[in-house]
Chain A
Amino acid sequence: MAQIMKMVAQRFALGFLTLFVVSLIIFLGIELLPGDIAEEILGQGATPETVAAFRRELGLDVPAHIRYVEWLWNMLQGDMGRSLANKREISELIGLRFGNTLFLAVTAAAISVPLALTLGVLAALYRYSFYDRAVNVVTLSSISFPEFFVAYILIFFLAVTYPVFPSIANISDATPFWDKVYKVLLPALTLTLVVVAHMMRMTRAAIINLLASPYIEMANLKGLSRARIIVKHALPNALAPIINVVVINLAYLIVGVVVVEVVFVYPGLGQLMVDSVSKRDLPVVQASAMIFAGTYVLLNLLADILSILTNPRLLHPR
């Protein structure tokens, strides 16, 4: 157990180190953005006077390294600062958007993960059958489609031609839960089509990969049923790669959905960030980039730890 704690602690330390470096990169990268921040925020309507006034207000005359330290210190205390453009608390601004992003991601995951695992296990069980080949071709195709293509096709069929779902996912805090689910179903479906193939193929491959191992042969020669062999003997040992791919896809569902947000007008964190980048709302960009990076690091950490925890060698040391 001590060994596991040590490994977990190591992973945590590494994660935090990564996050620290990421914060530096993000801060530096944003420092390098061309164009004057004040001018960008004020837009073409800015005159040199208003720009100067605004710069004073933002405290942009302070050197960068001091601002970085301050920023990091505040971040650590959970204070992300205020948006330059509209003075709102960033934590509040991001909180709302991140909540939406998570909602979409969870909905998509709730559909895609069970679906992918079931399809994957079935494909492994009936490998090289017609079902397997058909699923293979279908998933390979869906993985190859650009997201906007999938999104538009779904809109075309399910919103325009047969108006089953709304064409935009217009949700707010006040939207009742099931109404929310109904409204995000189309984007969630789009994302499902995009991620399910990857997870399903990895599940199948991870299981099939094990089928050549001696203990599966042994399980066969013990006369166990095929289903039992897959579920009881192969699956537990294939968990690490499966967890990994699921987590990668979860991370994608959270951090990689800008295109879907744009197409479905979904108020997620991705749009916020794209908006803020073009408006040079630096505190917001920095905070959302950190949230994204943090999510990614955290999810990878989770995958690592789960892989450790599902490894009997580590869980039950000699």
Chain B
Amino acid sequence: MSEHNDKDILVRIRGLRIEGQSGDHWTEIVHGVDLDLHKGEVLGLIGESGAGKSTIGLAAMGFARDGCRITGGEILFDGTDLAKAGEDEKRKIWGARIAYVAQSAAAAFNPAHRLIDQFTEAPVQHGLSSRAQSEEEAKALFARLQLPDPDGIGLRYPHQVSGGQLQRAMTAMAMSCKPDLIIFDEPTTALDVTTQIEVLAAIRDAVEAFDTAAIYITHDLAVVAQMADRIMVLRHGNLVEEGETRAMLAAPKEDYTRDLLSVRSFRRPEHPIPAGEAPLLKVDNVTAAYGDVPVLHGVSVDIHRKRTVAIVGESGSGKSTLARVITGLLPAKSGAVSYDGEEMPLSYKQRGKDQLRRMQMIYQMPDTALNPRQRIRDVIGRPVSFYLGLTGKQLEDRVRELLTMIELDPDDYIDRLTTELSGGQKQRICIARALAAEPQLIICDEVTSALDQLVAEDILKLLQRLQDDLGLSYMFITHDLATVRAIADEVVVMYQGKVVEHGPKTEMFKPPHHDYTDLLLSSVPEMDPDWLDKLLADRAEQAKQGRVLKAADH
């Protein structure tokens, strides 16, 4: 901060207070935050969900979403207090001097209009440029952001362009008026990890080229480490810590920051493959399709007792479909699914109660996995009474026991509605529901990806402990390699419906790799602020040698 002068300050926020509406009353969600942003500077806002980072980012534009209102403080943008400015005054600044890049470009582009129309809209409406001139600028920007066919891509509709490209097109659109400031609101969160690299590179390049100031909002410390000059760590609407990127990463001052930094360090010792033991679940050369669209091509996976097998792949790789085939929701076209040596009917409808009981599933979104109209007692109690026939006192005792197992106080939780829980608590209930059936195998479908990192880590630890205590096997579907590192014994990498590589974890994280595995592994951001530079240089080097690693999304 010392290297900047006060007159360089573009945005100065003081004592910002924001309230959010819940039901009929308003509660404060941002409690007096200060923020300074200098011209040309990139500021990272980081925090878990509920930290208020997006809200603050939008407030820097003087904008509050429906259900939010700015109740205090001042937001000086180049001398204008946006907290007090009128609607018209703000609309003059929005788009022209401050632009916004949303989390999901697919949702933030209007599906009814061509990209070029959306690009030129702001400059033409703000009277900054003619339509023709703006179109030329668009082509230049598209080229700069390394979009394919920069002259023609503008004529496409948003749905005709892939996610990674769309995100870059949105960055281009944000730059259409050469703004002083761009707010990036989690621009890569919705992307696959291999796609993310290119978008990050493009954004950084563009911001540097135009010397635009930026506020970069994310929950991923490793990403922000690549992008930001300075980082503010937020929690529950308060500032936790603020500092230059390298300094903060090297020596975090606060415990919370330290926790965030250490999130990826949890490691589970690998269990050995029990010699000569038959696998608990054997998926043999399974093929499956949605209607006529083939999704899985001859997939085979073995899961042994007390072991965790991680299925890794990007969206569309078929890893969730594999789970549906195993559970019988999507009966396989060919191949076999055997459990404990016994071949199971392919459709769940034909499976017996006990076959269903022994294999349970935990879902990605705890919100949709629990019936919002049921109480915990019923959610957990139903499988107990359904499979094991317990009633009355025995049932109650068992439910309480299960709640204790997942570290929730039975007295406090047993009569709550599922909607009265936090995300992490819901996921615990889902685990308890699975445990209630007393299964041997639990299929975990991206169980941590909807959770904040610290909460996710607790869930992983819980699952770990339960495995140790109860001798469970897990099939762990995930796209997050950090999770794989933490919990897996064995890794299966899937790509376009096929298994491209599989083996014990220790081997899988060591080269040499299948090209795709290599791309996947190398794309996982690291805390090192120079990681992105190194990676890009490395890939450029490899490209010279004729080995091109590119995301499928390109």
Contacts and interface: CB of A to CB of B under 8 A. Distances in A.
Interface stretch (A8-16, A76-84, A207-215): A207-215
Majority secondary structure, A binding face: helix
Given A215-B108, A217-B102, A236-B113, 6 more contacts: A220-B63, A223-B93, A223-B125, A223-B126, A224-B125, A237-B111
A218 B100 contact: yes
A212 B107 CA distance: 11
Contacts of B91: 223-225
**Chain A interface bracket (under 10, 10 to 19, 20 to 34, 35 or more):** 20 to 34
Contact of B107 (A213, A220, A313): A213
A313 B160 CA distance: 8
Contact of A224 (B104, B113, B121): B121
A217 B65 contact: yes
Contacts, number: 77
Given A220-B63, A223-B94, A313-B159, A214 B112 contact: no
B553 to A, nearest CB: 14
Interface string A205-240: 000000111110111111111001000010011000
9 contacts: A215-B111, A217-B108, A219-B110, A222-B94, A222-B99, A222-B122, A236-B112, A312-B157, A318-B160
Nearest to B111: A312
**Chain B interface bracket (under 10, 10 to 19, 20 to 34, 35 or more):** 20 to 34
B474 interface: no
B137 to A, nearest CB: 15
A221 B99 contact: yes
Contacts of B109: 215, 218
Interface string B106-148: 0111111100000001100110000000000000000000000
A214 B108 contact: yes
A211 B121 CA distance: 18
A6 interface: no
B111 A214 contact: no
Interface string A87-115: 00000000000000000000000000000
Interface in B28-77: 61, 63, 65-66
A119 to B, nearest CB: 23
A65 interface: no
Contacts of B95: 221-224
Contacts of A225: 91, 125
Majority secondary structure, B binding face: loop
Contacts of B121: 222, 224
Q: Which of A212, A214, A224, A236 lies at the interface centre, i.e. has the most chain B CB atoms within 10 A of its CB?
A: A214
B92 interface: yes
Nearest to B125: A224
B337 interface: no
A67 to B, nearest CB: 43
A220 B121 CA distance: 12
A214 B110 CA distance: 9
A225 B127 CA distance: 13
B111 A313 contact: yes
Interface in B130-185: 156-157, 159-160
A218 to B, nearest CB: 4
B213 interface: no
Interface of A: 211-215, 217-225, 228, 233, 236-237, 312-313, 316-318
A237 B100 contact: no
Contacts of A218: 100, 102, 108-110
Nearest to A216: B110
Contact of B112 (A212, A312, A317): A312
A214 B109 CA distance: 8
Contacts of B65: 217
Nearest to A210: B110
B96 interface: yes
A55 B507 CA distance: 93
Nearest to B93: A223
B107 A223 contact: no
Contacts of B108: 214-215, 217-218
Q: Which of B92, B125, B126 lies at the interface centre, i.e. has the most chain A CB atoms within 10 A of its CB?
A: B125
A215 B107 contact: yes
A92 to B, nearest CB: 46
Contact of B157 (A213, A223, A316): A316
Contacts of A222: 94-95, 99, 121-122, 125
Contacts of B112: 233, 236-237, 312
A65 to B, nearest CB: 39
Interface in B78-107: 90-96, 99-100, 102-104, 107
B111 A223 contact: no
Contact of B63 (A211, A221, A236, A318): A221
B96 A312 contact: no
A214 B61 CA distance: 16
Contacts of B104: 214
A237 B111 CA distance: 8
Contacts of B94: 220-223
A213 B110 CA distance: 9
A4 to B, nearest CB: 14
Contacts of B126: 223
A218 B118 CA distance: 10
Contacts of B66: 211-212
A312 B160 CA distance: 10
Q: Which of B95, B104, B110, B157 lies at the interface centre, i.e. has the most chain A CB atoms within 10 A of its CB?
A: B110
